[in-house]
Structure 1
Amino acid sequence: MNEADRRSDEARRRLEFLSVEETATLGERGVLLPDPGSVLVSPHVRLEEDVVLWPNVILQASSESRIAIGRGTNLFPGTRIVSSGGAVTIGTGAEIGEEGGFTIKAGPGDTIAIGNGARLLGSGSLTLSNWVGRGAQILGSIRCQNCTLGDGGTYRESDPDERGGVLKGSGVARGIEVPQGHVIQAFGLFSEAVMRRQSYFHPKG
């Protein structure tokens, strides 16, 4: 090991992350890491098979916290998930962080649950407690706090009114609830925007 690698691993240990070699060995458990040297993972994070960690992903959990990520979930570059006394659970086949990364932070007592097939993109964030249902989507630079998005089909579902709840646009969403088949589009405060059926934006053929 050269001096630069030794210093890198020492910094990782001090910050309570796996060494580069330990990170690379996640691949032996079925995790897909094209560039282990650019990824930071805490020892307490639980990753199922076929999770994809693209470069510049950070998964940081203290010993009294929980981060669990389900099979086949894609974490795109710039995604940061932090749990400091809270819990973050992500189901199977989710897509998080495409088009600019995504930030998820659970503090003491917070619970953030993201369902199977959910899609979060466009440099948004989840803080405090949030429930993002199966197939639900957050599309854009949206700061979500204490939001609930209902279960439904994924964005591939042919009937838009059967898809999970959606927030799209940019701004701040606090205490927002979006049921299945509905969407709120806003550029500012989501509490002031109109909720519509998803077929309003995607007319049924």
Structure 2
Amino acid sequence: MVEALVGAANRARERAGFLSVEAVAALADGGVLILDPFSTLVSPDVALAAGVTLWPGTIVQATEGGRVAVGRGTQLFPGTRVVADGGRISIGAATEIGEEGGFTIKTGHSTGVIEIGSHARLLGGGSLALDNSVGDGAQVLGPIRMQNCRLQAGGSHRDPDPDRRGGVLKGSGVARGLTVPTGMVIQAFGLFSEAPLRPQSFFHPKPQG
């Protein structure tokens, strides 16, 4: 019975262009932590570095010649979907994606590029579409639809000086064509283009020395 169910699942996976259950589990041989190979979908030739964690319910997919690379120590939490439908998606090391509601990252054309740096955080059910650059330490916090934006690199959210951290979008709504410099944040609940750009210390006062 179990073998029949796994066989049926594998045939469906093959038709959809994903690795078999056994092949997903075998990613552990390369140092990838797979918590549930039955609910995790991964395309062949996706590049996952040692130390990547794929939580249950994650999808990492490359179609139409697309490429996906995920760096060492990065965590993809439940409900995260990374899809290079053509184009290229690169994710750096020790980045956290999809906690607090999943996250969708998708290129939709052959020249699309989404670059996410190291020590970044993308949380709370948001999405990246079209071309985007999320620099080292930058953050997207909340159900935000981000299109053609650039968050500049800086320290991670653990940096004691908030004005040295990577750029941040927080709240909910739509962000299009925006650049957020290092140490700055836009908080909005609607259109981010209508919200002010503020230093991150506005929300997180610097520690007194």
Using the size of structure 2 for normalisation, the TM-score is 0.97
2:74 aligned partner, one-letter code: T
Which residue in 1 is equivalent to 2:76?
75
Query: In 1, Cα distance between the equivalents of 2:89 and 2:83?
Result: 8
TM-aligned CA deviation for residue 90 of structure 1: 0.3
TM-aligned CA deviation for residue 77 of structure 1: 0.3
Query: In 2, Cα distance between the equivalents of 1:157 and 1:12?
Result: 42
Query: In 1, Cα distance between the equivalents of 2:20 and 2:3?
Result: 14
- Contact kept in structure 2, 1:77 and 1:97, CA below 8 Å: yes
Query: In 2, Cα distance between the equivalents of 1:86 and 1:145?
Result: 15
2:28 aligned partner, one-letter code: G
- Contact kept in structure 2, 1:59 and 1:80, CA below 8 Å: yes
- Contact kept in structure 2, 1:169 and 1:185, CA below 8 Å: yes
TM-aligned CA deviation for residue 204 of structure 1: 1.1
CA offsets, 1:156-189, max 9 Å, x none?
A: 0000000000000000000010000000000000
- Contact kept in structure 2, 1:44 and 1:63, CA below 8 Å: no
Query: In 1, Cα distance between the equivalents of 2:151 and 2:112?
Result: 17
Query: In 2, Cα distance between the equivalents of 1:204 and 1:93?
Result: 25
Which residue in 2 is equivalent to 1:184?
186
**Would you say 1:32 and 2:33 are equivalent positions?**
yes
Which residue in 2 is equivalent to 1:48?
49
2:120 to 118, 121, 129: 118
Query: In 1, Cα distance between the equivalents of 2:105 and 2:88?
Result: 11
Which residue in 2 is equivalent to 1:7?
8
TM-aligned CA deviation for residue 63 of structure 1: 5.4
Task: Identify which range, 121-130 or 54-63, moves more after superposition.
Answer: 54-63
Query: In 1, Cα distance between the equivalents of 2:64 and 2:169?
Result: 32
Which contiguous aligned blocks of 4+ residues in structure 1 show a shift greater than 2 angstroms?
none
Using the size of structure 1 for normalisation, the TM-score is 0.99
**Secondary structure of the equivalent of 2:158?**
coil
2:192 aligned partner, one-letter code: F
How many correspondences in the alignment?
Answer: 205
CA offsets, 1:6-45, max 9 Å, x none?
A: 1100000000100000000000000001111110000021
Query: In 2, Cα distance between the equivalents of 1:166 and 1:56?
Result: 26
Q: Which runs of 5 or more residues in structure 1 are unaligned?
A: none
**Secondary structure of the equivalent of 2:143?**
strand
How is 1:1-205 mapped onto 2 (pairs within 5 angstroms)? 2-62=3-63, 64-108=65-109, 109-205=111-207
Q: Which runs of 5 or more residues in structure 2 are unaligned?
A: none
